[in-house]
Chains A and B, each alone.
Chain A
Amino acid sequence: MTSTATAGAAAVSAPTSEAEAVAAVTQQPNATVLAGGTLLVPQHNLGHAEIERVVWLGRAGMSAIVRSNGSITVGAATPLAKCAGLPAPAGPCAARIGDNEVNAQATIGGNVCSPAPYGDMRGPLLALGAQLHWADADGKHTGGVTDFVAAGGSRPGVLLLDVAFAVPAAGSFVALRRHHTQSLCALAVSAVRGGDGAVAIAATGAAPDACRLHAAEAVLAGGGAIAEAAAAAAADADPYDDALASAAYRRRVLPVYVARALEQIGE
């Protein structure tokens, strides 16, 4: 491991393996993870984040995409641009996050760790039923996106290692693109048909955090039509106002996008 310490500034260590990264993040107090840095660096330099100690993942590896036996594991430090080839909804979502230069530098792990209006990948990973692996002072953990967020996954002292999911039978990603919002996403719907034929639907931007649309899924499981499933989506939504869209607009667009996402997977 190499390290740089500068008086009056954050101390930075640069682990050269995943094991070193786990040790550096979990065994030092207040260790903040720096991956692509596209959110952390401006927050720090504009004075919005006090950072004492940084573990930079640029030399730790953790950026491989491994496919085996119908499943895919993506290292947390994998740049989003490299994730663009993943199956839908993950790939199409990764491809549209940030401008080109940002997309090439930002990582899937950093995105998953960031709340709205970032965290675009949470919806696709929820729909895919992805399992996340992370480490903290208590050891290694496995769980879904919701478990990771509930465990406070983005706080100092936690290191997301990778995300893994089964290759779906079909997947789709439908997102609202609006001029003047950069690439920040006001609303996106992900739909996945698994190997067993069951359909999972998730949304980002329909509620303050990404959520599964269980009521809509239940309509489909019961043999209901797309239009009925789309109408049921509101049951799991909690639309909100922000600079990107009003709650009323989100409420209006959600069923339209649920229907489109379902049509795209051939429901």
Chain B
Amino acid sequence: MDLTVNSVARTVQSPPLASLLTVLREELDITSPKAGCESGSCGACTVLIDGEPRRSCLTAVCAVDGAEVTTVEGLGTPEDLSRVQQAFIHHYAAQCGFCTDGLVVAATAYVSAGGSADTAAISDALAGHYCRCTGYVKIIEAVAAVARGDEFDIAATASSANNTYVTIAGAGS
């Protein structure tokens, strides 16, 4: 099966019913999508498939043959973060980071589709994502800031908080 992952053409050998999550993490070593529940409940495994947010744990890899898959690794780099990533840092929307990759992906789809800064609309769009740390307020503030077109001075955020923030950009495994 052939898919494009983060703009790179990949041929995968996993069995056809293997989940896209397993293929990304184990065969392609792309570890930003997290195996939270592996049954569609938590959102940590969310990736973009042809631009739409989908649960990679529920998606058979045979069903994405020929598709374009985007993970956090394809959204920005530590040196050149996407606006959603910048907003998550600026608004302290990540704590342990386990939910963050799925949320960044879903929020990216939301703002790309022209989603508004309305708190209720953002809550609806991100409803399928569980975060056990932040209480969601900071996440919603971050997404609203992107939707409003705010600018983020990440260097200032880092120095003011004396923070080692860049780890969330690359997301550990």
**Contacts from A to B (Cβ < 8 Å):** 4, 6, 8-12, 14, 34, 36-38, 40-42, 44-46, 51, 54, 56, 58, 98-102, 104-105, 182
CB distance from B52 to the nearest CB of A (A): 6
Q: Which residue of A lies closest to B49 (CB)?
A: A105
User: Assuming the A-B contacts A38-B55, A45-B22, A101-B43, are A10 and B17 also in contact, with contact meaning beta carbons closer than 8 angstroms in the complex?
Assistant: yes
Answer whether residue B76 sits at the interface, using C-beta atoms and an 8 A cutoff: no
Query: By the criterion CB–CB under 8 Å, are A4 and B40 in contact?
Result: no
* Chain A residues within 8 Å of B125, by CB: 100
User: Assuming the A-B contacts A37-B63, A100-B53, A101-B55, are A45 and B18 also in contact, with contact meaning beta carbons closer than 8 angstroms in the complex?
Assistant: yes
* Chain A residues within 8 Å of B39, by CB: 42, 46
Query: By the criterion CB–CB under 8 Å, are A12 and B16 in contact?
Result: yes
Most buried by A among B15, B17, B22, B60: B17
Answer whether residue B86 sits at the interface, using C-beta atoms and an 8 A cutoff: no
Closest 6 CB pairs of A and B: A99-B128, A9-B15, A12-B16, A42-B39, A38-B58, A12-B62
Contact residue range for chain B? 20 to 34
B38 contact from A40, A42, A51, Cβ within 8 A: A42
Query: By the criterion CB–CB under 8 Å, are B16 and A6 in contact?
Result: yes
Q: Which chain B residues in 22-44 approach chain A with CB under 8 Å?
A: 22, 38-41, 43
A41 contact from B1, B17, B52, B65, Cβ within 8 A: B17
User: Please, how many angstroms separate the alpha-carbon atoms of A100 and B115 in the complex?
Assistant: 14
* Chain A residues within 8 Å of B129, by CB: 99
What string of 1s and 0s marks CB contacts (under 8 Å) between B83-127 and chain A? Answer: 000000000000000000000001000000000000000001101
User: Assuming the A-B contacts A12-B62, A46-B39, A56-B60, are A104 and B54 also in contact, with contact meaning beta carbons closer than 8 angstroms in the complex?
Assistant: yes
Query: By the criterion CB–CB under 8 Å, are B46 and A101 in contact?
Result: yes
Answer whether residue B19 sits at the interface, using C-beta atoms and an 8 A cutoff: yes
CB distance from B110 to the nearest CB of A (A): 10
Query: By the criterion CB–CB under 8 Å, are B53 and A101 in contact?
Result: yes
B40 contact from A9, A12, A42, A54, Cβ within 8 A: A42
User: Assuming the A-B contacts A42-B39, A100-B125, A100-B128, are A105 and B16 also in contact, with contact meaning beta carbons closer than 8 angstroms in the complex?
Assistant: no
Query: By the criterion CB–CB under 8 Å, are A41 and B58 in contact?
Result: yes
Given contacts A56-B62, A99-B41, 11 further A-B contacts (CB under 8 A): A8-B15, A12-B16, A37-B60, A41-B58, A42-B19, A45-B19, A45-B22, A45-B57, A102-B58, A105-B54, A182-B41
Answer whether residue B82 sits at the interface, using C-beta atoms and an 8 A cutoff: no
Q: Which residue of B lies closest to A12 (CB)?
A: B16
Query: By the criterion CB–CB under 8 Å, are A41 and B19 in contact?
Result: yes
User: Please, how many angstroms separate the alpha-carbon atoms of A12 and B63 in the complex?
Assistant: 10
User: Please, how many angstroms separate the alpha-carbon atoms of A12 and B62 in the complex?
Assistant: 8
